[in-house]
Amino acid sequence: MVRLDKTQGRRTTLHNKENDFAYWSRQSYEKRLDALDYLRDQYIRFKYDKRPGLQRVYTVTERKPR
């Protein structure tokens, strides 16, 4: 997973705010997907207080003797 570069942020006022759609339209699809994954991860951590992951499924089988 690629982390977002948080050092590229800028402070701005609401009156000088750049259009979000225009900003994200200029970004590569990899960077947009990384940002989406980052926001999704932050939301899940906030709402459920745990790290998202895949559910593990175990199946018990009996082996036949050879």
- For the CA atoms of 29, 34, 39, 40, the dihedral, rounded to the nearest 10 degrees, stands at 100
The two most distant CA atoms of the chain are separated, in Å, by 77
Q: What would the mean pLDDT of 55-62 be, rounded to a whole number?
A: 76
pLDDT score, position 32: 93
Predicted TM-score (pTM) of the model is 0.50
Residue 1, pLDDT above cutoff 60: no
